[in-house]
Structure 1
Amino acid sequence: MPRISGENLQQHREQLQRRVFVAFAELMAERSFDAITMALIAERAELGRTAIYHHFRDKEAVVVAFATHETEQYVAQLREAMQGSSDPVAQLRTYLRHHLEAGEQFHMGLGPQLYGILPPSSRQAIREHVVAVEDVLREILRSGVDAGAFRIDDLDGTLSLVHACLSPRHLPAGTIETFVLGAVGAAG
């Protein structure tokens, strides 16, 4: 019977999962998704070739679990950064800054690269995690409209446009922030 790391089975599973996620992220930085195999992930995570299958049925399951983990961490850090502020303008600034600062850490371009490769069920599962992040922005925008701090006619359209503005990493954060705040009608 394999030895468990950690004080109990739950800790062992969490540690193993972290190793798999680190291995997966490293491999994604080095090669395409198609070139990654479960054997490569297992080797990089220092697991036996068959042991990984006790935790993930295939590499698509690794992607979905990885996206779940990353999103949960991202949203928790975002909510922590926004804690204590009820001002929608300040919350939107925090959201924008957090997204731009943490974007490299959490968003390694999984969406566009994998969209056409993953089966529909995996794409849907990952989409649900994107919605969790969108929900935070939706709450901020609604709160701003309700408080009279933002002028928004189409909430869903604005949400999509704000996220589109956060994609170009080559622009200064201040430029993006000023543009988005102006676009929602917030006083500078």
Structure 2
Amino acid sequence: MPKVLGSLATHREQVRERVFAALRAQLYDRGFDALTLSGVAAAAGVGRTAMYNHFPDRQSLLVAFVEDEAARYVAELDAALAAATTPAGRLAAFARLQLRRLAEFHLPPGQALAGALDPQAYRRIAAHADPIGDRLTTILRDGAADGSFVDDDPAVLAALVAAALSTRKVVDVAPDGLEAAVGTAVRAVLRAVGADVHN
């Protein structure tokens, strides 16, 4: 019996991965407003009944997708932060990762997303920003404590840094110019909090 249960769990996970891959591609190509469950199911090679068993509507699909993406992202972020040895190094790693993810991830911006989802679904998606914001605030607090950053309110600084790192204009560049744009933005963020960008 455990083997059957394991097989069912594996099958469900494989279905979710195929559905999320199809959804990701369609979000990039068409945007959320043009998505249909049947279209995602067809692209994923999943029957419509199976699709509705997993995700009863578009909103539940998007919420599940964002939750999955957020969990992967936080794990990637934690690995990048653990590899840095100073607050400035951690802030640079944080900024780089945020900007690279922004360049490749095309959900509608906050207000558009708020209008596309009911309030409960939007709150569930927005909640996934909390752990990311907490990590940024901790980095800024650590930098103030060791004197490498300005000693200002870390919550205010975190809000300003997060806003700067969510500006699509920074990453809406030709692919061969992305790394230079990211480098410029990272240095600007470091300077904004008083870090020495030459170290």
TM bin (shorter chain): 0.7 to 0.9
Partner of 1:109, secondary structure, is coil
Match of 2:106 in 1: 108
1 or 2, which has the higher helix percentage? 2
Q: TM-score, normalised by structure 2?
A: 0.83
Relative distance call for 1:15 and 1:110 in structure 2 (3 A) is farther
Match of 1:85 in 2: 84
Contact 2:149–2:195 under 8 Å retained in 1: yes
Match of 2:53 in 1: 54
How many pairs align? 183
Are 1:147 and 2:156 matched, yes or no?
no
Contact 1:152–1:158 under 8 Å retained in 2: no
**1: CA distance between counterparts of 2:151 and 2:62?**
35
Contact 2:144–2:152 under 8 Å retained in 1: no
Contact 1:115–1:123 under 8 Å retained in 2: yes
Match of 1:184 in 2: 193
Partner of 2:59, secondary structure, is helix
**1: CA distance between counterparts of 2:100 and 2:158?**
19
Matches within 5 A, 1:160-171: 160-166=159-165, 167=167, 168-169=170-171, 170=173
Match of 2:22 in 1: 23
Match of 2:39 in 1: 40
Relative distance call for 1:178 and 1:55 in structure 2 (3 A) is same
Structure 2 residue runs without a partner (length 5+): 174-179
Match of 1:172 in 2: 181
**2: CA distance between counterparts of 1:31 and 1:180?**
32
44-53 vs 152-161, which deviates more?
152-161
Query: Which residue type is aligned with residue 50 of structure 2?
Result: A
**2: CA distance between counterparts of 1:110 and 1:21?**
17
**1: CA distance between counterparts of 2:12 and 2:147?**
48
Structure 1 residue runs without a partner (length 5+): none
Shift of 1:152: 4.0
**1: CA distance between counterparts of 2:128 and 2:108?**
12
**2: CA distance between counterparts of 1:108 and 1:132?**
20
Query: Which residue type is aligned with residue 54 of structure 2?
Result: H
Q: CA RMSD in A?
A: 2.0
Relative distance call for 1:116 and 1:152 in structure 2 (3 A) is farther
Q: Kindly, what percent of the aligned residue pairs are identical? A: 36
Contact 2:88–2:143 under 8 Å retained in 1: yes
**2: CA distance between counterparts of 1:58 and 1:152?**
47
Shift of 1:185: 1.1
Contact 1:81–1:94 under 8 Å retained in 2: yes
